[in-house]
Structure 1
Amino acid sequence: MDDPVKQIEGVIRSLTQGSPNEQSAALNRYYVPNAEFIHPFCRVPPFSNVSLPLIGEVQSRQLVLAIYRWYRIISPRIDLEVNSVQFDDARQKLYVDISQRFSLWFVPFMVANVNLVCRLSLVKFEAESPSQKDSYRQIANGEKQPDHGHALLEPIQNGELPSFAEVAQSEQPLSDDTSDVEVRYYVAKQEDLYQVNEWIKFIVPFGIGDAIISAGQLFATYLSLLGSIVFFPLVWILTHGGDSGNVMPPVKRVEDDGQVVWRGSGADWARRTFSPLNSIGASAVQGIVVNVQENAQTLAHKGEKFASNVHQRSKMLIHDVVAREEQMVKAAQEKAGGLADGVQQRAEGFAEVVQEKGAEYLDAAHQKTVEFIDAAQRQEERFVKGAQAREEHFVGDLKKKEEQAADNTRQWWAANKTG
């Protein structure tokens, strides 16, 4: 590719979202035949014309193509976003920050949103003469190996841009301006760099793996803090009070016009009088003895100062702890008193409510009782009056029946007597 920064996104999308033919064309167009590929879960070393069982003679680029095709088979839909691209021209390195949404079609509800940095090592070719064209044609066809640098190349744009092999075989100049040297970049090595809490999402989904790794990282940070505190006295002694080290710091210099200028970049290495990393056994003991002898007074003074600071800080800490404890006790007492008052007030309020409710209940019960008695009396009066009326009616009927029976008897007697 001519401009890796502008063209790399199209190459990535051709490989991860393209059809099988687009994937093959992209690799053949932009990757060298012995391209190397490194991923947390797979790896392809650089090689050419190696015979594999049941497959035959292959190049490493063909294995990279097989990985990308399998990648598309297990995850037919891949959403990705290229966040940023940085090109280190001096070292021929291209860095691509990518956000990706990955899911397996045979695992329902499994979605991994991951971030990675794709580091591409490029090789640069400059074509000036027909002999160089022949050399490039051999590299494109896999007949010759380039110097091992590494790279990614421009995207496939509907066949608009020719492959390097096509350019090498053509009699036309590589550039419209024949006075310029045509420069092309090809990918020799691809490294997909994931943080641990990113690649774990592929095998432990639903955020569980990310949570476990994050907890482990926080625990390691805590251990680092403890280690720095525990071993600080040893480092203080071995580095002459924290002033010496392997890196020379920049030197401050004031110019005539009063401007401050820093000389040096802070990256110049200087050997220490003693370092626990390069001395073992007797050498380590000898180094410690020499440092202690040369700096006995300084170390003693710094030790006294350090002890005084520790003592003062301890007193301050104890004072703060006592003051905090008193404040906590006072606050607890105040809260306890407030709680007791609140409970008492609530109890009195509850008792008043109970008394009011009890009085209301008694009044209601008394009223209900009076009403019940009145209703019973009225019901009794109505029953008595009904009974009297029924009794009077029964007596009247009985008298009528007696009179009628007497009349009937007299009539019968009169009739029988006449006869």
Structure 2
Amino acid sequence: MEDPVAEIPEIVHALTTSPPCVQREAIETYFLPSAAFDHPLVLIDPFTSPLPSRSIILSVYRCYKILSPEIEVQVLSVAFDEPNGQLYVTAQQVLAFWFFPWARIPARLVTVLSLSKQRHPGAHPYSAHVPEKWYIKSQTDLYQSDQWVGCLPVVGIPARAAVLFAKRMAAVACWALAAVFLWIGLLADRVGGKRVGSTQGQREDRALELVEGVERTVSKKLR
């Protein structure tokens, strides 16, 4: 990529909503051969993988397309931290699994792309005329817990409802515990305030005694 911010929306659509041949071309063009991939359901580590990581990433995107032949993806925002080579992409996607065609599952995610600026991996090392471009060396997809469980085949819809219910109950439980144990915080504040007040009073008394002692010494010398 020459301009990651401008080019990444088109790349996202090429990877998610395009035919397999376009997916392959996009991965071979923009991903490094040793690229890593981290998703709540998939992990591709180029150092431990027995197969080329780029081919596994292609397989992941193909399975993604097979499970949900109709995918809607909208890139909401893009931010590029150029000094650190980090590209942040916020996207909204809607999945429609072939075995549940009537159910449309929305999911929001933030994708963090670690980029490396270099010449094309296949270029000759002494080819000075080949310009440097940005290539993807790792992709990390970040979902909320209820978002990624909704992408699970078959159990995704009830699992998402269960996670959302659990999160709401956790919020209610936090409110109840805070109300029940409020008196502990009030008691701690009172005890702490008394200690602080007594310590501050002792310091003020010492300072006053020191000033009075200096005044007495000065008055004696003046006499």
Shorter-chain TM-score bucket reads: 0.7 to 0.9
What amino acid maps onto 1:199 in structure 2?
Answer: W
**Could you say which residue in structure 1 is the equivalent of 2:215?**
none
Distance 1:29 1:106 in 2: 33
Note closer, same or farther for the CA distance 1:18–1:229 as it changes in structure 2 (3 Å cut).
same
For the pair 1:173 / 2:129, whether they are aligned, the reply is yes
- The SS at the match of 1:29 is helix
For the pair 1:27 / 2:27, whether they are aligned, the reply is yes
Fraction of identical pairs, as percent: 29
Tell me the TM-score normalised to structure 2 length.
0.74
Higher strand share: 2
Note closer, same or farther for the CA distance 1:183–1:220 as it changes in structure 2 (3 Å cut).
farther
Note closer, same or farther for the CA distance 1:110–1:168 as it changes in structure 2 (3 Å cut).
farther
Equivalent residue runs for 1:12-23 within 5 Å: 12-23=12-23
Distance 1:230 1:188 in 2: 53
What amino acid maps onto 2:85 in structure 1?
Answer: Q
- The SS at the match of 2:47 is coil
What amino acid maps onto 1:187 in structure 2?
Answer: I
- The SS at the match of 1:205 is helix
Alpha-carbon contact 1:200-1:209 (below 8 Å) kept? no
Distance 2:117 2:33 in 1: 15
Write out per-residue CA displacement over residues 320-376 of structure 1, whole angstroms, 9 at most, x where no aligned residue: xxxxxxxxxxxxxxxxxxxxxxxxxxxxxxxxxxxxxxxxxxxxxxxxxxxxxxxxx
Q: Find 2:77's aligned residue among 70, 84, 97.
A: 84
Q: In the TM superposition, what is the alpha-carbon distance from 1:9 to its structure 2 partner?
A: 0.8
- The SS at the match of 1:218 is helix
Q: Which has the larger radius of gyration?
A: 1
Distance 1:117 1:204 in 2: 20
Distance 2:2 2:187 in 1: 55
**Could you say which residue in structure 1 is the equivalent of 2:157?**
205
Q: In the TM superposition, what is the alpha-carbon distance from 1:237 to its structure 2 partner?
A: 7.9
**Could you say which residue in structure 1 is the equivalent of 2:62?**
69
Distance 1:47 1:213 in 2: 37
**Could you say which residue in structure 2 is the equivalent of 1:59?**
52
What amino acid maps onto 1:9 in structure 2?
Answer: P
- The SS at the match of 1:94 is strand
**Could you say which residue in structure 2 is the equivalent of 1:297?**
198
Q: In the TM superposition, what is the alpha-carbon distance from 1:7 to its structure 2 partner?
A: 0.6
**Could you say which residue in structure 1 is the equivalent of 2:171?**
218
Note closer, same or farther for the CA distance 1:211–1:32 as it changes in structure 2 (3 Å cut).
same
Alpha-carbon contact 1:119-1:192 (below 8 Å) kept? yes
- The SS at the match of 1:78 is strand
- Give the 4+ runs in structure 1 shifted more than 6 A: none
Q: In the TM superposition, what is the alpha-carbon distance from 1:183 to its structure 2 partner?
A: 3.6
Q: In the TM superposition, what is the alpha-carbon distance from 1:31 to its structure 2 partner?
A: 0.9
Write out per-residue CA displacement over residues 179-225 of structure 1, whole angstroms, 9 at most, x where no aligned residue: xxx44111111111111222232244177346414423423542574
Distance 1:209 1:110 in 2: 17
The count of corresponding residues between Structure 1 and Structure 2 is 197
Structure 2: unaligned runs, 5 residues or longer = 202-223
Alpha-carbon contact 1:37-1:190 (below 8 Å) kept? yes
Distance 1:45 1:235 in 2: 49
Q: In the TM superposition, what is the alpha-carbon distance from 1:37 to its structure 2 partner?
A: 0.9
Q: In the TM superposition, what is the alpha-carbon distance from 1:88 to its structure 2 partner?
A: 1.1
Equivalent residue runs for 1:242-253 within 5 Å: none
Q: Find 1:117's aligned residue among 107, 110, 130.
A: 110
Structure 1: unaligned runs, 5 residues or longer = 52-57, 126-135, 141-164, 175-181, 242-291, 301-419
Write out per-residue CA displacement over residues 246-300 of structure 1, whole angstroms, 9 at most, x where no aligned residue: xxxxxxxxxxxxxxxxxxxxxxxxxxxxxxxxxxxxxxxxxxxxxx6xx461489
Distance 1:217 1:237 in 2: 29
For the pair 1:39 / 2:32, whether they are aligned, the reply is no
Tell me the TM-score normalised to structure 1 length.
0.42
Q: In the TM superposition, what is the alpha-carbon distance from 1:68 to its structure 2 partner?
A: 0.7
Bigger RCO (CA 8 Å, 6+ sep): 2
Higher helix share: 1
Note closer, same or farther for the CA distance 1:230–1:105 as it changes in structure 2 (3 Å cut).
farther
For the pair 1:184 / 2:184, whether they are aligned, the reply is no
